[in-house]
Every structure is written in structure tokens, then in C-alpha cells.
């Protein structure tokens, strides 16, 4: 066997060993982190001001007020979720100085999966806000005299097609969780987000690697860069596998 061929076989064996270790570690990680049931939010979330509730993992109330805004050229009327300071505006363009109602957000504090609590950061990181139309049957009488159904929420304008400065509109969103397969790990008795799942959720776009040229190719068609990535990935998985086994042993 020629030295070159022997080196080529050595590279191949090393790559197969790394791939095997990576596969075993990844399989162990999946087995440890794989949830079996469906997540539950626990206690219902309630917006007591309006009697709006949800059984989902978060509740968000958004309040907007119709106000004057100067765009640099002219005054326009817009819906805005915060007060617009009109102190320097021309006469006849005065906004209320504060919002009569606050924007508020509630999080499920007792969310669980398979009988184990889910860390709130999981909800904050991968939860998806979706607009929903609540049941306003529990709307307090004083607010029922001020608001009427408008779109998916409530509005204070007598004529929704012709709102006046200071009118309000209120809408709600509820937080839903996507499929959790491959995203969580059970650590210290709590479900936490896997680092790779957190990175994927926060990343703006997938990383792109430039194609390797033939001059950069290593034995077996692997470029040195990709080989280093494979080695690093295998080492990370090995480290995490040892940590898991150490925690279980404790």
C-alpha cells in the first residue's frame, strides 16, 4: 500500500469515527430532550380590566390612540401606541398628554410539559403572537358604555370610519407555542431551550458558506474548513453528552 493511499484511508477512518461519535451524541441528546406530551399553559391568563382571558401561554393587550403627528411637511392623524408630544404643534393640533389605558402583557408562569415546568424564556424566545378576537361577554358596564366591537377588538369611536383625536382602539394577542420536537432539553428538572434552537430562533438568516475550490479539497472530497467544522461539532456534542451523563449520575 502506498503512503498516499494509507493517508487517504486514515482520513476516511477518522471521518467515519467522528461521524459515528457525532451521530451517537446527537441521538442521545434527542432521547434526553424529546418531549412526550403536549405543553399546557396552566392557570388561565386574565386581563381583568376588560374581562378578556386566554388559556394560551401569553396574553398581550395593545392600546392605540388616534393622534396628530407632524411628518416634517404636514400634519396627519394616525393610530399610535404611545402618546405623541404635541407641545410644539400648531394651533388646532393638540394631543392628549397621556394614554388613558396601558399596554400590558402577561406570561404563563405555570407552563409545563410531561409534568415538568417550562422555563419562561422558552415562551419568550420561540412563542408566536397571534391576534385573536376575545369574547366580550364579561366586559364591565363602564367600559361597555365607552367601547364597541371594532375589527378583532374594541374601539371608542362613535363612528369607526371617522375616528376623532383621542379615540382609542384595543386589541389582544395570545402566545402560542410551535412544535417543540428537537427544541427542548430537560435540565435541573425544567424544560429549557436547546442552544441550537435558541440560535435558530434569534438568527435573522441562515449562514451561507462559500463553495470550496478543488485546490482546497482534502482527501475524501472534504475541504479543510468543513473538516474543522465537523471535528468541532463532534467535540461539542461529546462535551454535552458527558455533561448529561454527569448530571444523571449525580
Segment 168-208, tens digit of pLDDT: 999 999 999 999 988 999 999 999 999 998 888 887 334 43
**Per-residue confidence (pLDDT) for residue 25, from 0 to 100:** 46
C-alpha count within 13 angstroms, C-beta hemisphere, residue 230: 16
Burial class (CB in 10 A: 0-12, 13-18, 19+), 126: buried
What is the Cα 219 distance to its own chain's centre? Answer: 42
pLDDT tens readout for residues 10-24: 555 544 445 444 444
Spatial distance between the Cα atoms of 57 and 177, rounded to a whole number of angstroms: 7
Q: Domain ranges in the chain?
A: 8-34+181-203+220-249, 45-176
Whole-model pTM? 0.66
**Per-residue confidence (pLDDT) for residue 37, from 0 to 100:** 86
**Per-residue confidence (pLDDT) for residue 165, from 0 to 100:** 98
Amino acid at each position: 500500500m502506498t503512503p498516499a493511499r494509507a493517508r487517504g484511508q486514515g482520513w476516511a477512518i477518522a471521518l467515519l469515527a467522528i461521524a459515528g461519535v457525532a451521530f451517537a451524541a446527537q441521538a442521545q441528546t434527542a432521547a434526553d430532550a424529546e418531549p412526550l406530551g403536549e405543553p399546557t399553559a396552566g392557570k388561565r391568563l386574565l386581563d381583568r380590566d376588560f374581562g378578556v382571558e386566554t388559556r394560551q401561554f401569553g396574553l398581550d393587550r395593545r392600546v392605540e390612540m388616534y393622534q396628530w403627528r407632524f411628518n416634517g411637511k404636514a400634519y396627519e392623524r394616525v393610530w399610535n401606541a404611545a402618546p405623541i408630544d404635541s407641545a410644539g404643534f400648531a394651533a388646532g393640533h393638540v394631543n392628549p398628554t397621556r394614554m388613558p389605558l396601558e399596554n400590558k402583557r402577561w406570561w404563563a408562569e405555570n407552563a409545563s410539559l410531561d409534568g415538568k415546568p417550562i422555563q419562561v424564556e422558552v415562551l419568550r424566545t420561540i412563542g408566536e403572537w397571534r391576534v385573536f378576537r376575545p369574547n366580550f361577554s364579561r366586559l364591565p358596564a363602564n367600559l361597555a358604555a365607552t367601547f364597541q366591537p371594532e375589527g378583532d377588538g374594541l374601539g371608542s369611536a362613535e363612528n369607526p370610519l371617522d375616528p376623532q383625536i383621542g379615540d382609542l382602539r384595543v386589541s389582544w394577542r395570545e402566545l402560542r407555542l410551535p412544535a417543540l420536537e428537537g427544541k427542548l432539553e430537560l435540565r435541573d428538572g425544567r424544560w429549557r431551550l436547546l442552544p441550537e434552537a435558541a440560535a435558530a430562533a434569534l438568527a435573522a438568516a441562515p449562514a451561507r458558506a462559500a463553495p470550496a475550490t478543488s485546490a482546497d479539497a482534502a482527501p475524501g472530497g472534504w475541504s479543510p474548513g468543513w473538516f474543522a467544522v465537523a471535528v468541532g461539532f463532534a467535540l461539542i456534542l461529546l462535551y454535552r453528552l458527558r455533561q448529561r451523563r454527569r448530571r444523571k449520575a449525580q
